[in-house]
Amino acid sequence: MTPEKNIENGTPKMEPLAGFIEARYVKCGRANCHCASSKGHGPYHYWIYKSGNRRFKKYIKKSDLAFISARIEERRKRTREFIETNKDAKLDWKKWKTQIRELEQLFKNEL
């Protein structure tokens, strides 16, 4: 998963990614290996994500770990901003609704 470059300025594209990174230790299964009596080999990093109802796991090379991490964090940042914007909009909508009701009452009372 090498980063693609922007055509305009040659910087890496930051397409956000859903999911998370998980570090796992693996055991090779050989009886005489040190991993048989320890945590295992690793840690190896995997990108875990869902597509539809299925969960997928992809290995991340050490050289790509920082880039993938940044893309996942970008997705989280955008999601947090989206949630905050929606909260603010909902509060504004409630205020406007209250003001409209008050104005309707004023007009009813004048008629």
Which burial class, exposed, middle or buried, applies to 47 when counting CB atoms under 10 A from its CB (0-12, 13-18, 19+)? buried
In tens, the pLDDT along 82-108 reads 999 999 999 999 999 999 999 998 888
* Domain residue ranges in the chain: 20-110
Long-range Cβ contact pairs of 94-98 (< 8 A, separation 24 or more) = none
| Residue 13, phi-psi category: left (phi > 0), alpha (psi -120 to 50), beta (remainder) | beta
Residue 41 CA to residue 64 CA, distance in Å, equals 19
Residue 63 CA to residue 65 CA, distance in Å, equals 6
In tens, the pLDDT along 30-66 reads 989 999 888 999 999 999 999 999 999 999 999 999 9
In tens, the pLDDT along 11-36 reads 566 788 899 999 999 999 898 999 98
